[in-house]
Amino acid sequence: MLKIRNAHERGHFKNNWLDSYHTFSFGEYYDPNHMGVSVLRVINDDKVIPGAGFPTHPHKNMEIVSYVLDGALEHKDSMGNGSVIRPGDVQRMSAGTGVTHSEFNPSDENPVNFLQIWLLPNAQYTQPGYEQKHFPAPDRQGELKLLVSGDGRDGSVSANTDALMYGALLDEGQSLSHDIKPDRVLYVHVARGPVEVNGQALNRGDGCQVSAEPQLEITGRATAEVLLFDLPLAS
């Protein structure tokens, strides 16, 4: 069964420096029919103009993943971490008992487009943590590369969650597949380009929940980038 979430149906927030689309309820956007899928609670598609960003703000009891599509994102937090996230990088911040951080576009010329992803943790009020890794494009080309997991397997970023997050790059006509276990549900987010998911055409910003099917198949209809979340069926 496929449940498609079209890009134009997402929540939208825009001010003088931020243009953000919300796949699930977030901030002032509330839709009781789109509160998340399993432990996946936020996918925000954010664009920030040069020289602007999110000032220091708090988080608690959430696994927060940042994934840059274009440009660069500068991160600073109360744990003493400071880094710049670029395409191919995956950053995970475990908020746990509480952490503050800021996210800023350090460029004077180019906007930054990134995905902000929130995952519910396995346990609350844990020690805050941070990890960042780079996943080269060749490692994601034509295959699902594990980016985030609960145990850091296969070189992935570790997180306090039962979710698995994969990333893939596809050329036109290139396909990949992923088995769906009976106790799991999948969510596909199309980060860029057109794809076909189990026979259904999806475009940039679209998403698709997949369950009660034996296998997922994704095919690029042109150059594309996708994220796949493999999630526990019960949330």
pLDDT tens string 6-43 = 999 999 999 999 999 999 999 999 999 999 999 999 99
Average pLDDT, the chain: 95
Residue 187 CA to residue 189 CA, distance in Å, equals 7
Domains belonging to the chain, first-starting first, are: 2-232 (2.60.120.10)
Tell me how many degrees the CA angle 83-223-165 measures, rounded to the nearest 5: 50
Edge-to-edge strand order for the sheet containing 207-210? Answer: 2-5, 207-210, 184-192, 224-232, 164-170, 145-149, 157-158
pLDDT per residue over 81-109, tens digit each?
999 999 999 999 999 999 999 999 999 99
Edge-to-edge strand order for the sheet containing 195-197? Answer: 175-179, 215-220, 195-197, 200-202
Model confidence band, residue 170 (pLDDT cutoffs 50, 70, 90): very high
pLDDT per residue over 210-235, tens digit each?
988 889 999 999 999 999 999 998 75
Under 8 Å between Cβ of 24 and 45: no
pLDDT per residue over 45-93, tens digit each?
999 999 999 999 999 999 999 999 999 999 999 999 999 999 999 999 9
Q: If you write DSSP's letter for every residue of 113-136 in order, what string do you get?
A: EEEEEEE--SSSSPPPEEEEEE--
Q: What is the pLDDT of residue 48?
A: 98
Considering only CA atoms, which of 9, 103, 86 is closest in space to residue 52?
Answer: 103
Q: What is the pLDDT of residue 212?
A: 84
Whose tokens are 């099917």? That residue is 213
Whose tokens are 């979340």? That residue is 229
Residue 71 CA to residue 123 CA, distance in Å, equals 33
Residue 116 CA to residue 130 CA, distance in Å, equals 15
Please check the confidence at residue 1 and state whether its pLDDT lies above 90: no
Residue 209 CA to residue 211 CA, distance in Å, equals 7
